[in-house]
Structure formats: structure tokens, C-alpha cells
A and B are shown apart, each in its own frame.
Chain A
Amino acid sequence: MKKYRIAEIICIVILLVFIGILSADETASDKTVKEVAGAVISDVDIKGLSKQNEMQIKKELSISAKDYDGIYFVKSDEVMDVRELLIIKLKDNQSSDDAIKKIEKRIKDKQTLFEGYAPEQSAMLKNYVLKQEAGFIFYCVLEENETAVSAFNKIL
């Protein structure tokens, strides 16, 4: 019977496509950081957070804005307010490893800073979101992490 063979072949093709999609580098989105950040902050409350300029970004994250296609970073000026939101757009085919490593270090540093001393801040820091998608790196410590993430996913 031919039809079973055809069905089998279709399955094999789907498997190969599936593997292809999983292993392929995702295509970068053509949105700018401004558009993405705008979409995210229209959905979540970032009152009390202030936008950081290039110098401050360099100081806080040791990431220099020149290396990337755009960075948006807001954080609170209050010591005890751990909320922050960071969106980085990578250049074409740029590796995200360096930035991710630096962000992870920041999270760890912040966690050690508040660990054993401020339970609410620690709980928030534990729930951080760090993800990479379509040429963007997204990191946030907010009360409404999920909303921020879905806004981020939607705009891409």
C-alpha cells in the first residue's frame, strides 16, 4: 500500500523540519529597542524607576552601549528597591554570551547583597526573568514579570 509509505515520508520530513527549527538560530526581529521597550512599559508599571544613560549602564552592568544595537535600562535609585528592566538589541549575528554572563553576574551579586537580610527583595530577585529571543536580550526584576514577558514576546 502506497499511502502508508507516503504518510511515513511526511512524518520524516516533519521530523527533519522540527529538528531544523529547534537547532536553527532564530531570525532577528527588525524592531528597535525603543519600540520593544515602549511596548513593555506600556503594559507594566515602572513608576519610580528612572532611565539610565550610557555612563550609568556602563557603571551598573559594565556593558558599553556602543557594542550593541541599542540598550534600554531602567532601575530604581532607591537602595532597597530592586526593580529593574533591561532590554538589549544585539547586532547581526552577535553572540549574546558576554552580555548574558554580565547580567547573570549582576543577578548573583544582587542576590548575595540582599540574601540573609531582606526577604521580600530576595524573593523578587529570585523570580528574575532573563531570556533571549529574536536578537534581543530581556532581563527584568519586576512585580509583574509575566506581563512584561508576554508584552515582550508579543511585540517581537
Chain B
Amino acid sequence: MDIHDNENLIYVNEDPGEKRIHKGNVVFLCLTVCFCFIIGVGGFVNFIAKDRDFSESENRVLASFPKLTLSSIADGTFMKNFETYMSDQFVLRDRMISLKSYFDRLSGLRESNGVYIADDGFLIEKPSKYTAKKAKAMTKSINSFMEKYPEITKMVAISPNASYIYSEKLPSGIELHSQYSELKGILNRLEGENYSFLNVTKALKNAKEKSDVFYRTDHHWTTRGAYAVFKAIADKWNLDRKSVEYEFLTVSSDFEGTLASKTGIHDNKDKIEICLPENSEGSYIVSYESQDKRTTSLFEPSKLQQKNKYEVFLGGNYDKVVIDTVSKSRATLLIIKDSYANCLIPMLTPYFAKIIVVDPRYMTESVHNVMDEYNFSHVLFLYNLNTFLQDTSLEDALK
């Protein structure tokens, strides 16, 4: 008798006129008043509270009061939108969400919105699914692209993700497919002259002993991680990296990345460092062609004021960025990349007179056009495995 026992607890009588137990009334009144107060006042407060247009923590436009028309009622969209509106604009919404994620962890949950809640405050995204078919299609289009430029020095470097590098921090019982062997599978399919394939797993694994190579709250690698990969690239291409001093500067220590937003867990903050080759500030011109913008910095400090602070590197993702440096070298480099590359690019500036950065996801033209426009000596293809496996634009761009 689960439910009815509680009635006994508060002495419910179906017919209180006959045998009223007066002590019970206090409880009845108390509960009734509390409940009505909460729903009444809660409703009223929600009614008078000012609507927010945009949620900073969810980074999206919140629903506004739906327009009332006959057709929107008849097909039910008004009702649906009204319910979304109510929950989107609910007072203390953000607080409630973080409380809920706290309760979830308290109850033992180690996963939220496709992100593992790993040890030491690491949030680690579930890796993309590897399929041989996708790997084959991607490598085929890269191969046929690279084939056209036999005399240019080319490199493909694909980085594993935090889920592999920090696999020991994953909740116990999680066994993921090894990204190392997936990468090997991909790199083995690549072929051509003047062509090197870099599996950066080892570089990252070694570097992680000294410092974090991935952010705890974001899906990107840290500048230290990028530096380790840079060293591997430089060694492969015999760049004289010993001749240049690199300096690390902390530019922000309260970075909460995408994974913090995704899970709603805001316990940890990351620091963002930038890495500068010596005497480099002001020594290049960066042009964002589609934006009609030119700057003299590879960093965009204003982005440190916003939520997605990773955009400090190159100001975010653009279709095409042209970097002219004062390097004495005559080499020119094309980087075909995703956003992992953004924090690594500054490290390459001492060795190339010109670096063109293209992000196929935002490009409408073919990469061949870019190849024709400039006279490249090097091509670097820099991706992380998650993006690589999910990519939908690369094949078109390389055609």
C-alpha cells in the first residue's frame, strides 16, 4: 500500500466532518498553501520576468512568445511553441541546468550529451565513428589531389583526439576503438612522391607527460599539444627549428570551452596560451580576403572577451587567410586544415614567406584554383580525426 500509507501519515479522512483530527489540519493547510504559492507565484514571476533573447550559456537564440494566429492554433504550432517558450524563458533556467548536472554526477552518471565526464576534470568527447568506407573515400580524394602536384613537398598530418590520448582518464568500462590504428589505416592508404605522412600520436603522448595537450573543457588541443605536433612536422621537413626561440604567453585563464557548454558542467576552467616565435610581433600581414580585412596579428584579442575564446587564434575559422611574413625563406606553404591548426600556424611563420590557410568547410571554390594562383613549395594537410571522419566538404573542395 505505497500511496495510502502516506495518507495515514498525515491523517487523511475522507469525511473530516465526522471525525476530524484537528492536529492534521496544520499539515494540510501548510502543504496546500506551499504548493499553491509555488505554482501561483512561480507562474506570476515567469509572467512578469523580462524575456531574454539570447542565452549566453547555451549560446542560442531563445524562443520568444509565439504569435497567435488562427492557423498556428489549428495546426498546433502555437501550443508547441508556447511550451518551448515557457521552458526557454523560465526564471533561473541556467541555475537549474547546472544544478541538474551536479545531481547527475552525484548519482554516478559519467556521461552527458555525448561527452564523457572523465577523471581530473577532463571532459572528453565521444569519438566519431570510423568506417573503412569513409576512410577510403577521403584518402582517395586526397591522393588524386596530391597526384597532380608531384614536385611540391606534401604532408598529411592527422591528430588523434583527447578520447585516445587521455583514454586512461575515461570512466572505467569505456573501451573505445584505438584511434592509433584507425590513423594507421588511413595513412597507409596515402601514396605519392614527395609526400610524408605523419602520425602525431607519439608526439602528443610524449608531450602530455609535461603539460596538458588537450583542454579540459574544450575539444581542441592546447597550444602545448600543437607545439609538440609542430616539432614533429618541422623535423620531418627539416626546418631549422633550433634557430628560433619560442615563447609561451598565457592570455586567458578562465576559458570554458564547448564541452563545458555541452555538458553544463562549469567546475573547471582552462588557460589559453599563445606561442610566439621570437621577434615576430608585427612582422606579418594577415589578410582575410572574403572579409576584406587586413591585420598585423595572428591573434584576435577581442575574442578573449567572448564565450568561445579559442577564436583568439586567427579570429576563428575563415575560408581563406593569406599570411605574408618577413621570413627570409622563399618557401610558400598551403595549409588545408580544420580549427586544430589555428593555434599551430603562428609557429610555422619563421620558415615560410607566405602561408595560405584554407578551410574547405567554408570554401566555395576548389582548392585547385588556390594552387594555380600561387606557386607553392609546400602543402600541409592538417586535420584531427573526429573532423576528418565527419567531413562532408573536403571531397568537393579537392575536386
Contact = CB atoms under 8 A, between A and B. Distances in A.
Contact of A146 (B59, B61, B72, B364): B72
A131 B74 CA distance: 13
A118 B66 CA distance: 22
Interface in B359-389: 364
What is the interface of chain A mostly: helix, strand, loop, or mixed?
helix
A127 to B, nearest CB: 9
A122 B72 CA distance: 22
B69 A119 contact: no
A150 B69 CA distance: 7
A45 interface: no
A153 interface: yes
Interface in B28-72: 54, 59-61, 66-67, 69-72
B126 to A, nearest CB: 15
A123 B69 contact: no
A46 interface: no
Contacts of B60: 119, 122-123
A82 to B, nearest CB: 13
Contacts of A112: 392
B72 A149 contact: yes
Nearest to B364: A79
Contacts of B54: 119
Contact of B70 (A79, A117, A123, A150): A150
B59 A150 contact: no
A146 B69 CA distance: 7
A120 B59 CA distance: 9
B61 A150 contact: no
A150 B67 CA distance: 11
A138 to B, nearest CB: 11
A112 B393 CA distance: 11
Contact of A119 (B59, B67, B364, B392): B59
Contacts of B71: 149-150, 153
A119 B56 CA distance: 11
B69 A149 contact: yes
Contacts of A149: 69, 71-72
Which residue, of A117, A120, A146, has the highest number of chain B Cβ atoms within 10 A?
A: A146
A123 B66 CA distance: 14
A149 to B, nearest CB: 6
A119 B61 contact: yes
B72 A120 contact: no
A120 B364 CA distance: 22
Interface string B69-85: 11110010000000000
A117 B66 CA distance: 25
A74 to B, nearest CB: 21
Nearest to B392: A112
Interface in B71-118: 71-72, 75
Contacts of B317: 117
Nearest to B67: A146
Nearest to B55: A119
Contacts of A147: 67
Nearest to A150: B69
Contacts of A79: 364
A140 to B, nearest CB: 13
A146 B71 CA distance: 9
Interface string A96-118: 00000000000000001000010
Interface in A115-151: 117, 119-120, 122-123, 131, 146-147, 149-150
A79 B67 CA distance: 28
The residue in B54, B69, B71, B364 that gathers the most chain A C-beta atoms within 10 A of its C-beta is B71
A62 to B, nearest CB: 16
A2 B75 CA distance: 39
Contacts of A131: 75
Nearest to A79: B364
Contacts of A150: 69-72
A79 B362 CA distance: 10
Interface of B: 54, 59-61, 66-67, 69-72, 75, 317, 364, 392
Given A149-B72, A153-B70, 6 more contacts: A112-B392, A119-B59, A119-B60, A146-B66, A146-B69, A150-B70
Interface of A: 79, 112, 117, 119-120, 122-123, 131, 146-147, 149-150, 153
14 contacts: A79-B364, A117-B317, A119-B54, A119-B60, A122-B60, A123-B60, A123-B61, A131-B75, A146-B67, A149-B69, A149-B72, A150-B71, A150-B72, A153-B70
Counting from the closest, the 9 A-B pairs by CB-CB distance are A123-B61, A146-B67, A150-B69, A153-B71, A119-B60, A146-B69, A150-B71, A149-B71, A119-B59
